[in-house]
Homo-oligomer: A and B are copies of this chain.
């Protein structure tokens, strides 16, 4: 399949801006089999969505996502809304025969995520593709880490660590935004930050979490309403979650997601220790991968700081000569590139909705364990 593909995007906040940049940019740097056309954007506020369309480069706009899905010029729906509407929009789009890119976490509940994965499976049978947006998999250094583990360079994996430390809401006067309300966000630090750490750790390790023992905490239980009324309302999500885990292959896992780690802003970190080596990656220095090769000669072993900016590294050759770093937004450009290629070549993209469901099942086990007083809790398939 070649030619162009009409894109429709729902949502135009942080993620919408990032995805728009990706759709605008991908064809400028990558050779594509299928070129995206930025057909239409959708948002509820007429003036705001019109301005966003102009600013972000979309040809048209809608105020009802159902109309967006119905448009003939929209062949792929990019879902950038809060988690509570992911399922409805994605399933409707898939059933309408539109490919879907859905932001993470896939849904707010396992049930919704399962319905989405089932819809994606049905759609795939008709050649309609679905992908969940775990964008950090697309960082060259992360993809390189995955390659090294897959090539057996680490041998059997003994330890996996994942953390996403942040501090956005450390101030008790930070208002009660939607991300702090369970109905809209599903969970707190866990779904927002922990989902990334879980997905990345499983991806790099090439293995799945089987069970967890978890603790969650809400350090600030009431916050000012964002309406400026001066009133306060209850925070209904976790501020932080920590858990230990077992992987299918026998590795021990240690995970942490928090919005209360002073000094950290986007402190995502993944580490894997195996029989023959270790890998460490941090979002703070996203172009670099630390690699300990236990087969280096004795006496000269040490973690190597590899800058993954060479043409031989995943994605990196499309950008600049070696040594020139890329940033956060490139993750989305790589993501849509891979999705376009999967569609063009008739393959199911990864991470699939099934992958997104599996992450959701891990998050669900974490919440169930925490609710049960940190009891050991299997990840329910």
* Distance between A42 CB and nearest chain B CB, rounded to angstroms: 19
**A21:B28 contact, CB within 8 angstroms:** yes
Write out the residue numbers on chain B whose beta carbons fall within 8 Å of the beta carbon of A304: 296, 300-304
**B278:A159 contact, CB within 8 angstroms:** no
Interface flags, A275-303, vs B, CB<8A=1, else 0: 11110000111111001111010111111
Interface flags, A208-252, vs B, CB<8A=1, else 0: 000101110101000000000000000000001011111000101
Write out the residue numbers on chain B whose beta carbons fall within 8 Å of the beta carbon of A265: 307, 309, 322-323
- 7 A–B contact pairs at CB < 8 A? A21-B28, A158-B258, A213-B214, A262-B275, A263-B273, A299-B313, A374-B376
- Which residues in chain A, 120-144, are within 8 Å of chain B measured between CB atoms? 144
Write out the residue numbers on chain B whose beta carbons fall within 8 Å of the beta carbon of A312: 298-299
**B310:A306 contact, CB within 8 angstroms:** no
Write out the residue numbers on chain B whose beta carbons fall within 8 Å of the beta carbon of A211: 374
A46 within 8 Å of B (CB atoms): no
Write out the residue numbers on chain B whose beta carbons fall within 8 Å of the beta carbon of A369: 213
Interface flags, A1-39, vs B, CB<8A=1, else 0: 000000000000010001011001100100000000000
Q: Which residues of A contact B (CB under 8 A)?
A: 14, 18, 20-21, 24-25, 28, 55-57, 144, 154, 158-159, 161, 165-166, 170, 211, 213-215, 217, 219, 240, 242-246, 250, 252-254, 256, 258, 260-267, 273-278, 283-288, 291-294, 296, 298-307, 309-310, 312-313, 319-330, 369, 373-376
**A273:B262 contact, CB within 8 angstroms:** yes
Write out the residue numbers on chain B whose beta carbons fall within 8 Å of the beta carbon of A244: 213-215, 242-244, 374
**B325:A320 contact, CB within 8 angstroms:** no
Write out the residue numbers on chain B whose beta carbons fall within 8 Å of the beta carbon of A324: 266, 327-329
Query: Which residue among A20, A303, A322 has the maximum number of chain B CB atoms within 10 Å of its CB?
Result: A303
Closest to A293 in B: B300
* Distance between A313 CB and nearest chain B CB, rounded to angstroms: 6
In the complex this chain forms, how many copies of it are found? 4
**B263:A303 contact, CB within 8 angstroms:** yes
Closest to A268 in B: B323
* Distance between A164 CB and nearest chain B CB, rounded to angstroms: 11
A219, B274: Cα distance in complex, Å: 11
Write out the residue numbers on chain B whose beta carbons fall within 8 Å of the beta carbon of A292: 262-263
Partner of A273, one of B217, B260, B376: B260
**A18:B320 contact, CB within 8 angstroms:** yes
| Interface pairs A-B: 8 shortest CB-CB | A265-B323, A263-B292, A266-B323, A213-B213, A327-B327, A302-B304, A324-B328, A374-B376
A300, B288: Cα distance in complex, Å: 11
* Distance between A144 CB and nearest chain B CB, rounded to angstroms: 8
Write out the residue numbers on chain B whose beta carbons fall within 8 Å of the beta carbon of A313: 299
**A274:B299 contact, CB within 8 angstroms:** no
**B28:A159 contact, CB within 8 angstroms:** no
**B219:A158 contact, CB within 8 angstroms:** yes
